[in-house]
Chains A and B, each alone.
Chain A
Amino acid sequence: MIRFLVLLLIPLSLWAGPKSGYEYLTPESRAIQDDDFQNPGMSAVEEGSKLFHAQGEEGHSCATCHGEGGAKLDPRRIAAYPVFGKAQGKPVTLRDRVHICWEERLGNFPLEFDDKNALYLETFVRHLARGEPVNVDVSAELKPFYEMGEKLYRTRLGQFGMTCYHCHDQYPGRKMRAQPLSEGQTNGFPTYRLGSGKVTSLGDRLNECMVSLRAARFEHDSEDYRNLEVYLNARGNGLKIETPAVRY
């Protein structure tokens, strides 16, 4: 009982801003993330790099505008995603931006939203901002989308009827069966998953949670997940980008 009370007090007393999922890893798992030669997520970065430099239908590549290796991309700008798209009138995630460039700038045939090449490109671009603090501005146009995202974050879902907030705000650091709960931060996405051995997009990860809740999934390309991504990223403002992070 005393142990339970102590456990209850720790999260309340030590709240000191958001905490990366990295902090919940064992030293062995951290070591895999820390070493690019060991981190299997780096293969997605390499695949993405190839695509970034590959010529599109109209004869140029991403690198034509954004520089060799993305040298002209500003890491601070990457860390500001999702941003508000004036033309779209809604949030534009990094994944959305990859699709927009792919279709409109390169003139390529559209990819499925969760196509693996889009995942590789997103991973490559976000990796360019590794170490940059997440900085999503939700004070202006994104505010209503942030609020809708937070609403979903706090909605009881599925037969289990739990919310994101329950696990990731009330109980991070505590174990559910064998698994320690984290804050559910997004600074490492797309991430390499030790369990599945796959590089995983945020949408796929959210759907894994939906399965655990026995809830109907949302489409990757849905406004629900787009708003949730705005909320989740802003909630982690200040955390350094770790893409491709290593997670369980």
Chain B
Amino acid sequence: MIFRHLFLIPIGIALAAEVPAAEPYLAWRAEPASVPEPLGGLKGDAQRGRAVAANQAQGNCLACHPLPIPEEPFHGEIGPPLAGVGSRLPAVGIRLWVINARLIKPDTIMPAFYLDPKEIYRSDDDHAGRTLLSAQQVEDVVAYLATLK
């Protein structure tokens, strides 16, 4: 075990240049069905948000939700289709779903994409101290879903 870590040190140094340091976590305030303010006052970009939703290493919303992203072959069957979600929910409501769906449905499978890292139990080393999505990525995804009318 110790040996394995020793071998990993040089690799860790090599990667350090590429993996950006964890961003500082930004506090947010939830109302019963919404997060009214954008994280850090950031402005979302729907085009980037679409890419985050499809990217396996980022949002990977497609793992669970069918989405109107026809160029991606496999859409999950776990969550509801998100086509039309922008008519069903206001952007501030979508923001709460993405940040922490457990505040809406405590038992949900849906990951909390912007949870205080202190509340994450047993993260692996590579992801310790990090939220699943960055604040900017959350706002981008919210902006994208809000366009799905």
Contact = CB atoms under 8 A, between A and B. Distances in A.
Contact of A157 (B80, B109, B122, B125): B122
State the main secondary structure of chain B at its contact with A: loop
A131 B18 CA distance: 51
Interface stretch (B26-34, B38-46, B71-79): B71-79
A176 B124 contact: no
Contacts of B73: 178
A40 to B, nearest CB: 27
A64 interface: no
Contact of A159 (B62, B109, B124): B124
* Nearest 8 interchain pairs by C-beta: A166-B109, A178-B74, A159-B127, A174-B77, A177-B74, A175-B77, A214-B127, A216-B122
Contacts of B109: 162, 166-167, 170-171
Interface string B112-125: 10010000111111
B124 A158 contact: yes
Contacts of A211: 124
A173 to B, nearest CB: 9
B82 to A, nearest CB: 11
A221 B101 CA distance: 35
B78 A171 contact: yes
B80 A1 contact: yes
A248 interface: no
Nearest to A210: B124
Nearest to B111: A160
A1 B85 CA distance: 12
B125 A175 contact: no
B63 interface: yes
B120 A158 contact: yes
Nearest to A160: B111
Contacts of A175: 74, 76-78
Contacts of B76: 174-177
Interface residues on B, range: 20 to 34
25 contacts: A1-B80, A155-B121, A158-B120, A158-B121, A158-B122, A158-B124, A159-B120, A159-B124, A161-B111, A161-B120, A166-B109, A167-B109, A171-B109, A174-B76, A174-B77, A175-B78, A176-B63, A176-B76, A176-B77, A177-B74, A177-B75, A177-B76, A215-B122, A215-B124, A216-B123
Contact of A174 (B62, B78, B80, B120): B78
A158 B63 contact: no
A37 interface: no
A4 interface: yes
Contacts of B111: 159-162
Given A166-B109, A177-B74, 18 more contacts: A1-B80, A1-B81, A155-B121, A157-B122, A159-B111, A161-B112, A161-B120, A171-B78, A175-B74, A176-B64, A176-B77, A176-B78, A177-B62, A178-B74, A214-B126, A215-B123, A215-B124, A216-B125
Nearest to A154: B107
A97 interface: no
Contacts of B125: 216
